[in-house]
């Protein structure tokens, strides 16, 4: 044990409950929470026990106080009172889209600390951080045996600068591990390899817990590791040793009963849970699963449910560790000695669960339940993951959406165009597209590729389809991007990979691809047919997200589906099919083949899984994970502790966030006569705000790259790959073609520059306002910032000159990110909206910042028309106010680390 750790334990007021876990190993100790002798502990939800242990272990009467421990123990009374508590996660996980900006910020913070006279090497991760490079690869090649290699080669060619920078970071910063590209999707690698479940560090055992810079970090909760997504800005503070300040959450108990029908997949269960919890209302809360039905769910099933947590809005969706969790750790090749202390520790502190033992059921804020026997096969869409549609209703639901008013369930297609179709040529043959035609079919994303049952189910369905003489039309962009090399291993070993390949589902890469918009281009003739026919065509993917404009700009309808259903819809070529009444296709012999003819049984799938998903596979794949990529191994990276910025680089750029930073704090000023940059409605997601996907050739970012930097359009790459360049990202903020701005009354990444009444790209309008020195405001409706935990959804608006957002409500992570960048999140008072207040967005707004500020205080807003109203300032904690006074969380950390 280090001297620092020893002194920390000595000064901890709970040092009295420290004892060895095993008397034979006196140097391996733990905080025995049962020795608190507090009856409240046994009634706490298991997820809250993790928060309590972290508070007890880190109690120093400075960052974490005994009063915080008492608040957590009193959870039953304090849960609904907005009580603030600190939480120090055991580790941080990053993916490269959010990881590159984090490392860029760390590099820039070192420069800033040096400029203020401090030691730049103080800027280092204190909390262990793992960065998995998984978001850079896209589906440029598919349907060919060498698609994987070609896509990986292109990934390296496009991202060499970024990868060299990350490799520099892995050498320059202590306590940071980088998992190279080609290894798998971050969340699956986390589940199969990185998760400790119980830490053994510095002579202490304690629960594994984490925050991550991807909202789907929650997938790890399926293994009993408490974790959730935070903004990159917040994650950086945790890496620097700061606790997260969080409001002690309510915990919804989700009782699971019954047994699923033999035709139901884990995807059907998760889409049902998503819809149900969306209706219950769990935003900002923990969900904890219990009941005998949980024992019916594999860890992969649980992880699939936990992965979709952001889609139903909860902070975390927790499955406490049980015997099935331990069996999973065995299956994935974890060390037997570790398994022994994991079980021993969790039982000693009352965190090991028997789902059949009702006496272990803790207190919950509220209990809801699901009978697995009521779940039916389903999809979700066409524009949101929470809009579940039973498979039996898909055809009629989509046809109703065609005519319905433009919205989440409507495309507003004119009646005379409902039967529109368009012929086109592809590879010398003629085909036809109509509304509902499938043009993208992707088995992608950690949601399903972590789950052997649905992946093997897809493989068995493919085998039966090929044997029945079925095929997939060649213009449909099919792809398979597994979550890790283990998936490819068991698909090959079980003999189903060749059948997937025959249907066009070749392995195209190991990473988060189609689900995040890295779907690559569609054939030009297909795009022409779609645009000329003004067709609503579909993408079907086994992913997490199907928001407008996310998967591909030409697929207006996108459905989340299980991997077997992705293949089924690809074979059918349309989502306008009733699988019960209509055949998938007619084979060469003229025989009609129905989905029921080729659907594998649960028993078939389980038999194959038992035989082929074995520990040796996981060991073989993960033993070489950090060295298997030869191109990564051969990358040269500088060894300097300060990064040498290349002014010519279009990928990595020193951000302007810390320019002119001084040690002295300046009091925040009121925002005077601000203009509204955008007037937005409900459910504006971070996909609408944050730059993602391809860089459109007529966009401000494209003009910057081509006109100012001389980049050829074919080398634009994606916004995700250029997240380390603030000049590109600022220009891509609010650049989503599906952004609906009330000023224009249509979807477009544009707005009205109010002083001149000119319609401009959003960046160009903001740039003109900034030149005039005018502050900016955004008006929005409910759930502003829902979607992924993207730091650029806050950094981008900051660079556009936005000082505040006024919304009806916020998604948790995005509100936190706005605070982290010094942007004020304002909320209408209950019952009030822009409409009820008569706001058009054309007014000029003066926002009075009083002194002193207090959490959640109500402030005055005056309009240039003479009218005024009040709104709540959504700084929810004193810590958030501290960050705001410093101009953001990173400024606060720089001043702190400068040692003055």
pLDDT digits (tens, 9 = 90+) for 456-466: 999 999 999 99
Q: Which two tokens stand for residue 643?
A: 């990064």
Listed residue (328, 332, 302) closest to 317, CA to CA? 302
Residue 8 has pLDDT above 80, yes or no: no
Residue 757 has pLDDT above 70, yes or no: yes
Question: Which residues is 362 bridged to in the sheet?
Answer: none
Q: What is the pLDDT of residue 1?
A: 40
Residue 900 has pLDDT above 50, yes or no: no
Q: Which two tokens stand for residue 543?
A: 């992913």
Residue 674 has pLDDT above 70, yes or no: yes
Listed residue (227, 313, 252) closest to 810, CA to CA? 313
Residue 448: helix, strand or coil by DSSP?
Answer: helix
Q: What is the 3-state secondary structure (H, E, C) of 556-600?
A: CEEEECCHHHHHHHHHHCECCCCCCCCCCEECCCCCEECHHHHCC
Listed residue (597, 584, 588, 475) closest to 528, CA to CA? 475
The stretch 265-271 carries a mean pLDDT of 87
Q: Average per-residue pLDDT in the chain?
A: 92
Listed residue (795, 733, 787) closest to 105, CA to CA? 795
The stretch 652-659 carries a mean pLDDT of 94
Q: Which two tokens stand for residue 679?
A: 């007037």
When pLDDT is cut at 50, 70 and 90, the band that residue 31 belongs to is very high
The distance of Cα 579 from the centroid of its chain, to the nearest Å, equals 32
CA 130/CA 109 separation, integer angstroms = 20
The stretch 508-513 carries a mean pLDDT of 81
| Radius of gyration of the chain from its Cα atoms, rounded to whole angstroms | 27
When pLDDT is cut at 50, 70 and 90, the band that residue 811 belongs to is confident
pLDDT digits (tens, 9 = 90+) for 514-526: 777 778 889 999 9
Residue 18: helix, strand or coil by DSSP?
Answer: strand
Q: What is the pLDDT of residue 2?
A: 44
The model carries a pTM of: 0.82
Residue 530 has pLDDT above 80, yes or no: yes
Q: What is the pLDDT of residue 469?
A: 96
How many of the other CB atoms lie within 10 Å of CB of 406?
Answer: 12
Distance separating the N- and C-terminal Cα atoms of the chain? 29
Q: What is the 3-state secondary structure (H, E, C) of 144-194?
A: CCCHHHHHHHHHHHHHHHHHHHHHHHHHHCCCEEEECCCCECHHHHHHHHH
When pLDDT is cut at 50, 70 and 90, the band that residue 99 belongs to is confident
The stretch 255-278 carries a mean pLDDT of 90
Q: Which two tokens stand for residue 837?
A: 């207040």
Q: What is the pLDDT of residue 383?
A: 92
Residue 789 has pLDDT above 80, yes or no: no
CA 719/CA 692 separation, integer angstroms = 5
pLDDT digits (tens, 9 = 90+) for 843-873: 999 999 999 999 999 999 999 999 999 999 9
The distance of Cα 180 from the centroid of its chain, to the nearest Å, equals 20
When pLDDT is cut at 50, 70 and 90, the band that residue 879 belongs to is confident
CA 671/CA 208 separation, integer angstroms = 43
CA 377/CA 580 separation, integer angstroms = 12
Q: What is the helix (H) or strand (E) element at residue 305, kind and residue range?
A: helix 299-307
When pLDDT is cut at 50, 70 and 90, the band that residue 692 belongs to is confident
Question: Taking the alpha carbons of 200, 204, 209, 211 in that order, is the dihedral positive or negative?
Answer: negative
Share of the chain above pLDDT 90, in %: 70
CB distance 362 to 247 below 8 Å: no
CA 823/CA 820 separation, integer angstroms = 8
Question: Taking the alpha carbons of 473, 475, 476, 481 in that order, is the dihedral positive or negative?
Answer: positive
Cis, bond preceding 382 (omega within 30 deg of 0): yes
CB distance 232 to 791 below 8 Å: yes
Q: Which residue has the higher pLDDT, 62 or 754?
A: 754
CA 230/CA 423 separation, integer angstroms = 46
The phi and psi torsions of 152 (rounded to 5 degrees) equal -70, -40
Q: Which residue has the higher pLDDT, 432 or 693?
A: 432
Listed residue (812, 731, 823) closest to 777, CA to CA? 823
Beta carbons within 8 Å of 671's beta carbon, 6+ residues apart: 775, 777, 803, 804, 824, 845, 846, 847, 849
Q: What are the percentages of helix, strand and coil residues in the chain, rounded to 5? A: 40, 20, 40
pLDDT digits (tens, 9 = 90+) for 212-245: 988 889 999 999 999 999 888 888 889 988 898 8
CB distance 166 to 632 below 8 Å: no
When pLDDT is cut at 50, 70 and 90, the band that residue 603 belongs to is confident
Q: What is the helix (H) or strand (E) element at residue 400, kind and residue range?
A: helix 394-403
Residue 258 has pLDDT above 90, yes or no: yes
When pLDDT is cut at 50, 70 and 90, the band that residue 4 belongs to is low
Burial 579-615 (b: 16+ CB within 10 A, else e): beeebbbeeeeeeebebeebbbeeeebeebbeebbbe
Residue 253: helix, strand or coil by DSSP?
Answer: strand
**How are strands ordered across the β-sheet holding 129-132?**
176-179, 129-132, 91-95, 209-212, 226-229
Q: How many residues does the chain have?
A: 900
Residue 480 has pLDDT above 70, yes or no: yes
pLDDT digits (tens, 9 = 90+) for 126-162: 899 999 988 777 788 888 889 989 988 888 888 888 8
The phi and psi torsions of 776 (rounded to 5 degrees) equal -125, 155
Task: Tell me which of 199-208, 236-245, 562-571, 884-893 is least confident.
Answer: 236-245
CB distance 826 to 805 below 8 Å: yes
Alpha-carbon distance values, 578 to 10, 393, 394, 595 (Å): 68, 8, 7, 10
Beta carbons within 8 Å of 387's beta carbon, 6+ residues apart: 275, 380, 381, 408, 409
Share of the chain above pLDDT 70, in %: 98
Residue 410 has pLDDT above 80, yes or no: yes
pLDDT digits (tens, 9 = 90+) for 611-625: 998 888 888 888 888
Q: Which two tokens stand for residue 385?
A: 């993951």
Residue 762 has pLDDT above 80, yes or no: yes
């Amino acid at each position: 044990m280090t001297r620092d750790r020893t002194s920390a334990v000595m000064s901890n007021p709970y040092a009295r409950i420290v004892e060895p876990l095993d008397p034979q190993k006196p140097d391996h100790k733990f905080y025995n929470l049962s020795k608190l002798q507090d009856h409240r502990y046994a009634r706490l939800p298991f997820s809250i026990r993790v928060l309590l242990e972290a508070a007890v272990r880190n109690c120093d009467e400075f960052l974490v106080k005994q009063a915080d421990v008492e608040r957590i123990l009193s959870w039953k009374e304090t849960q609904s009172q907005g009580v603030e508590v600190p939480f120090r996660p055991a580790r941080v996980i990053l993916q490269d889209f959010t990881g590159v900006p984090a490392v860029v910020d760390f590099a820039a913070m070192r420069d800033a600390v040096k400029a203020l006279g401090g030691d730049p090497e103080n800027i280092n991760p204190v909390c262990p951080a793992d960065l998995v490079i998984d978001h850079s690869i896209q589906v440029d090649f598919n349907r060919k045996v060498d698609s994987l290699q070609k896509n990986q080669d292109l990934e390296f060619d496009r991202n060499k600068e970024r990868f060299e920078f990350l490799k520099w970071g892995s050498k320059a910063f202590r306590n940071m591990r980088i998992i190279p590209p080609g290894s798998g999707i971050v969340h699956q690698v986390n589940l199969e390899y990185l998760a400790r479940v119980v830490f053994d560090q510095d002579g202490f055992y304690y629960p594994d817990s984490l925050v991550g810079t991807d909202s789907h970090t929650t997938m790890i909760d399926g293994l009993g590791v408490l974790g959730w997504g935070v903004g990159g800005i917040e994650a950086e503070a945790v890496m620097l040793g700061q606790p997260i300040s969080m409001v002690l959450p309510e915990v919804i108990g989700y009782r699971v009963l019954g047994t699923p029908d033999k035709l139901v997949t884990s995807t059907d269960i998760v889409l049902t849970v998503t819809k149900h919890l969306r209706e219950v209302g769990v935003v900002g809360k923990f969900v904890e699963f219990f009941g005998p039905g949980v024992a019916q769910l594999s860890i992969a099933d649980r992880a699939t449910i936990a992965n979709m947590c952001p889609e139903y809005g909860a902070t975390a969706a927790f499955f406490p560790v049980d015997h099935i969790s331990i069996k999973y750790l065995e299956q994935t090749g974890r060390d037997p000695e570790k398994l022994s202390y994991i079980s021993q520790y969790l039982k000693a502190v009352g965190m090991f669960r028997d789902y059949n033992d009702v006496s272990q059921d803790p207190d919950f804020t509220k209990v809801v339940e699901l009978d697995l026997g009521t779940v039916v096969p389903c999809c979700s869409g066409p524009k949101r993951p929470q809009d579940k549609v039973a498979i039996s209703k898909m055809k009629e639901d989509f046809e109703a959406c065609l005519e319905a008013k433009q919205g989440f369930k409507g495309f507003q297609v004119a009646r005379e165009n409902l039967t529109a179709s368009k012929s086109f040529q592809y590879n010398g043959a003629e085909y036809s597209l109509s509304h509902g035609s499938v043009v993208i079919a992707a088995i992608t994303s950690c949601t399903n590729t972590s789950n052997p049952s649905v992946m093997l189910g897809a493989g068995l369905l493919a085998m039966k389809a090929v044997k029945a003489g079925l095929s997939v039309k060649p213009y449909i962009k099919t792809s398979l991007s597994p979550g890790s090399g283990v998936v490819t291993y068991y698909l090959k070993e079980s003999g189903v990979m060749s059948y997937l390949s025959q249907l066009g589902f070749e392995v195209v890469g190991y990473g988060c691809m189609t689900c995040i918009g890295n779907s690559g281009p569609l054939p030009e003739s297909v795009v022409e047919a779609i645009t000329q026919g003004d067709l609503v065509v579909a993408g079907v993917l086994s992913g997490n997200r199907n928001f407008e404009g996310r998967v591909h700009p030409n697929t207006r309808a996108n459905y989340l589906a299980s991997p077997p259903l992705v293949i089924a819809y690809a074979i059918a070529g349309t989502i306008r099919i009733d699988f019960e009444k209509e055949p998938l296709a007619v084979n060469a012999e003229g025989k009609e083949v129905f989905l029921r003819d080729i659907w594998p049984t649960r028993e078939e799938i389980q038999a194959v899984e038992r035989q082929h998903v074995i520990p040796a596979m996981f060991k073989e794949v993960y033993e070489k994970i950090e060295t298997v990529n030869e191109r990564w191994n051969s990358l040269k990276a500088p060894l300097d502790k300060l990064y040498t910025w290349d002014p010519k680089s279009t990928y990595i750029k020193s951000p302007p966030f810390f320019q002119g930073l001084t040690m002295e704090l300046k009091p925040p000023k009121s925002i005077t006569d601000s203009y509204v940059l955008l007037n937005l409605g409900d459910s504006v997601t971070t996909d609408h705000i944050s730059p993602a996907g391809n860089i459109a050739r007529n966009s401000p970012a494209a003009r910057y790259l081509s006109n100012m930097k001389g980049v050829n359009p074919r080398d634009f790459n994606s916004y995700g790959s250029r997240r380390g360049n603030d000049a590109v990202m600022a220009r891509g903020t609010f650049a989503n073609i599906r952004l609906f701005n009330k000023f224009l009354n249509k979807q477009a990444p544009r707005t009205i520059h109010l002083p001149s009444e000119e319609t401009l790209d959003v960046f160009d309008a903001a740039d003109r306002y900034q030149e005039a020195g005018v502050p900016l405001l955004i008006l929005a409706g409910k759930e502003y910032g829902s979607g992924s935990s993207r730091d650029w959804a806050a950094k981008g608006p900051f660079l556009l000159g936005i000082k505040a957002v006024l919304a009806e409500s916020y998604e948790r992570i995005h509100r936190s990110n706005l605070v982290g960048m010094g942007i004020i999140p304002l909320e209408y008072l209950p019952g009030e909206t822009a409409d009820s207040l008569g706001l058009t967005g054309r007014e000029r707004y003066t926002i009075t910042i009083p002194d002193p500020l207090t959490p959640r205080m109500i402030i005055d807003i005056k309009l240039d028309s003479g009218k005024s109203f009040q709104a709540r300032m959504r700084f929810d904690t004193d810590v958030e106010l501290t960050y705001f006074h410093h101009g953001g969380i990173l400024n606060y950390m720089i001043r702190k680390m400068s040692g003055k």
